[in-house]
Amino acid sequence: MKCKILHDARGSLRVHLLKNRMSLREADILEYYLRAVEGVKDVRVYDRTCDAIITYSCERAAIIRALARFSYENEAIRAMAPEKTGRALSREYQGRLLTTVIGHYVRRYLLPKPVRLVFIFCRAVRYVREGLRCLLRGRIQVPVLDAAAITVSLARGDFKTASSIMFLLRVGEILEDWTHRKSVDDLARSMSLGIDKVWVRTPEGEVLMPVGRVETGDEIVVRMGGMIPLDGVVIEGEASVNQASMTGESVPVPKVPGAYAYAGTVLEEGSCVIQVKSTQGTGKYDQIVRMIEESERLKSTAETRAFHLADSLVPYSLGGTLLTWLLTRNATRALSFLMVDFSCALKLAMPISVLSAIREAQDHSMTVKGGKFMEALARADSIVFDKTGTLTHARPTVARVVTFGGADENECLRLAACLEEHYPHSMANAVVAEAEARGLIHEERHSRVQYVVAHGIASAVEERKVIIGSYHFVFEDEGCVVPAGEQDKFDALPAEYSILYLASGGTLMAAICIEDPLRTEARDVVRALHGMGIQKITMITGDNPRTADAVARKLDLDGCLAGVLPADKADFIRNEHKAGRTVIMVGDGINDTPALSEADVGIAISDGAAIAREVADITIASDSLWSLVTLRVLSQRLMDRIHGNYRGIMTFNGSLIALGVLGVLQPATSALLHNVSTIGIGLKSMTNLLEEEHRA
């Protein structure tokens, strides 16, 4: 790509693309491409000027090379930018807002008065009609107040005030609609796919390839806990699919050959082969948007209360207007009640506050699916942690492979990796990574793989049943035995490791010792959460009690349950609810999904199982648990801001009404101050909530 450097400073570069114009889509492609360059901290692309500002921490030469390699013709680069980014939406509403403002002042100062009056009366018809509709439905709500204010102003011949009222109402409508649409857009995009690779069935067997290389007609294999990456038709297998991201309904939907499968949905049980019909996940974004708009998921209790309060105050405003006129016989003072209402500020400031907090969370690599989850997180007093991949390091490693019955260590690891690679979990990833590090190629040698949640994996190799998993699964459920004469060797397995047992034909072949070190920040995070009002912090794990108790003591937890099944985790959270607690659940695996669903706030680790991220209300980055502390601070400050907005709006607008009734302020002045304060509170609500010490 040809470009010109306009400004070059340490860690910052401003470049101009040598082209006549840049479309919004082209701006998105360039921005997402540059953000993917290692060492780039921030990118801003300005489509109107064809400029890009790049902030970086790497070598300047790396940025120059990246710019030189960029091409809009490269399909791989074009695929980096998602279909929806929010740029077009913002441009649309910026244009509508600018047109409204310019049109208002052009009409006021350039149109002849007769033409201006006709225009004012024509616009007033809409507001009066909406007010009458409310009255005919037996409701006294905000449209009645707006219609009354406009009607009274027109009746008094105060056309300037009537025009100003309608102008400010229109601006408020645009801002409110923009806020809502942006909230839905941000949430829909946060629920979009994050799949890099997919299993594709070929004549040579299953091949793991980038999703961008999949073509229409290819056959992809999806197993339990995996996300369906592309739209298609099931041609083999049976599965239960969670389609909550599409329909809002969490009840699994059975999928059999011939059924259509949608991109972004998750397999809860079974496995299937899907023939790809669309490489773009046709219609997924629009379906998600419809699902969100039809639900109340986005609104927090505080937002809902603000909307109800705004409407409930309307009868009092109308009553105050009538009472003031009866007592003073002064229409100007009576109009003060109609010029100042609480609805604009309440209905604008609350959603903007929540939107701003969600946006700020995204800046810290945390995806929040709705304001009500931040509200619940602010008042939560109990946290439940999974252990593996959550409190322990996100990337455990294989420490040792202890073989039995004369089995070869590398062959055991090769076979274990062949089974585990189909079900990504932190411990499974450790096995696959160790096989790769040793250069062990583990081609598909087994038949269909069966995954048993929280237990292990079963398959068959050369007509012999092969299983890998927990002690409970291998020895108690499957009845496997230790080879004769090797019981002492088995008993001597180190207790400090989490162990995966590999057995073939009912006999133990190997014990894979997984080093699962605690996150370095875990103890400090637990202490910080206790200091922020979390009364009870519990760890629940399927691991053995000895290992779990050691972790609980190191972290100074309030409780620990070990050797539990997924249903036990959910039961524990139900009991916490019965005790009157608001519960947060933090996990990363398929076995955590029942508890994530049951909790008031389910938090998933970003590199965990797809279904855990789907079910969770919040997703945090895997690199640090300090995100939990940041979330707690952010949510508490959001609630402080909302409550502060309540007090500020009620106090200021109440004062304006009082001053208007006393004759200190004229109606036009009250309306101006009211709308200025509304915009001011809205702008204040858009500012960041976190101080520097909490920033990533």
pLDDT digits (tens, 9 = 90+) for 645-688: 888 888 888 888 888 888 888 776 777 787 778 778 877 888 88
Per-residue pLDDT reduced to its tens digit, 520-563: 899 999 999 999 999 999 999 877 787 788 888 889 999 999 88
Query: pLDDT over 90 for what percent of the chain?
Result: 27
Per-residue pLDDT reduced to its tens digit, 188-199: 665 554 555 788
Token digits for 167? 């102008």
**290 has a pLDDT exceeding 90:** no
Averaged pLDDT for residues 117-122: 92
Q: How far apart are CA 218 and CA 442, in angstroms?
A: 23
Q: Specify if 554 maps to a domain.
A: yes
Averaged pLDDT for residues 278-292: 55
Q: Which of 46, 81, 116 delimits the end of a domain?
A: 81
Q: Which of 81, 109, 126 delimits the end of a domain?
A: 81
Note whether 602 and 501 are same-domain residues. no
We report the CATH number of the domain holding residue 533 as 3.40.50.1000
Of 101-105, 219-223, 327-331, minimum mean pLDDT range: 327-331
Token digits for 105? 């002042």
3-class secondary structure, 269:
strand
Q: How far apart are CA 86 and CA 27, in angstroms?
A: 12
Q: Which of 56, 81, 106 delimits the end of a domain?
A: 81
Note whether 485 and 500 are same-domain residues. yes
C-alpha distance from residue 536 to each of 183, 568, 578, 629 (Å): 33, 18, 15, 15
**574 has a pLDDT exceeding 80:** yes
Confidence of residue 240 (pLDDT cuts 50, 70, 90): confident
Note whether 216 and 267 are same-domain residues. yes
Q: How far apart are CA 59 and CA 80, in angstroms?
A: 23
CB 337 within 8 A of CB 317: yes
Confidence of residue 296 (pLDDT cuts 50, 70, 90): very low
Q: Specify if 192 maps to a domain.
A: no
The pLDDT assigned to 295 comes to: 47
pTM of the model: 0.68
C-alpha distance from residue 375 to each of 169, 220, 285, 303, 632 (Å): 29, 40, 26, 10, 10
Token digits for 302? 């505080």
Domain extent, residue 524, equals 372-392+518-620
**284 has a pLDDT exceeding 70:** no
Note whether 166 and 315 are same-domain residues. yes
Cα 324 from chain centre: 49
* Count of domains for the chain: 5
Q: Specify if 38 maps to a domain.
A: yes
Q: Specify if 56 maps to a domain.
A: yes
Note whether 423 and 504 are same-domain residues. yes
**695 has a pLDDT exceeding 70:** no
C-alpha distance from residue 342 to each of 316, 642, 666 (Å): 11, 15, 18
Q: Which residue has the higher pLDDT, 660 or 399?
A: 399
**47 has a pLDDT exceeding 60:** yes
We report the CATH number of the domain holding residue 432 as 3.40.1110.10
Of 46-50, 450-454, 492-496, 515-519, minimum mean pLDDT range: 450-454
Mean pLDDT of the chain: 82
Note whether 609 and 547 are same-domain residues. yes
Note whether 500 and 531 are same-domain residues. no
Total residue length of the chain: 696
Cα 607–Cα 460–Cα 205 angle in degrees, nearest 5: 65
Q: Specify if 365 maps to a domain.
A: no
C-alpha distance from residue 141 to each of 32, 132, 329, 350, 649 (Å): 45, 11, 25, 19, 18
Q: How far apart are CA 96 and CA 94, in angstroms?
A: 6
Nearest to 387 by CA among 625, 599, 629: 625
Question: Residue 691: is it exposed, middle or buried by C-beta count within 10 angstroms (0-12/13-18/19+)?
Answer: exposed
The pLDDT assigned to 556 comes to: 92
Averaged pLDDT for residues 402-406: 93
The pLDDT assigned to 197 comes to: 72
We report the CATH number of the domain holding residue 244 as 2.70.150.10
Note whether 57 and 166 are same-domain residues. no
Note whether 179 and 323 are same-domain residues. yes
The pLDDT assigned to 630 comes to: 93
Confidence of residue 694 (pLDDT cuts 50, 70, 90): low
Most confident of the ranges 340-349, 483-492, 602-611: 483-492
Note whether 609 and 647 are same-domain residues. no
Task: Output b/e per residue, 361-376; b: 16+ Cβ within 10 A.
Answer: beebbbbbbbbbbbbb
CB 629 within 8 A of CB 532: yes
* Amino acid letter for position 399: A
Per-residue pLDDT reduced to its tens digit, 605-652: 887 777 787 788 898 887 789 999 999 999 999 999 988 988 888 888
Give counts: helices (H), strands (E), the chain. Answer: 25, 24
CB 342 within 8 A of CB 649: yes
First to last CA, the chain: 32
**184 has a pLDDT exceeding 80:** no
State whether the Cα torsion 634-38-431-465 is positive or negative.
positive
Q: Specify if 209 maps to a domain.
A: yes
Note whether 615 and 645 are same-domain residues. no
The pLDDT assigned to 454 comes to: 52
Q: Specify if 683 maps to a domain.
A: yes
Token digits for 156? 């008094």
Q: Specify if 536 maps to a domain.
A: yes
Confidence of residue 696 (pLDDT cuts 50, 70, 90): very low
Per-residue pLDDT reduced to its tens digit, 142-158: 788 788 878 888 888 88
The pLDDT assigned to 281 comes to: 47
Note whether 511 and 523 are same-domain residues. no
Q: How far apart are CA 176 and CA 477, in angstroms?
A: 58
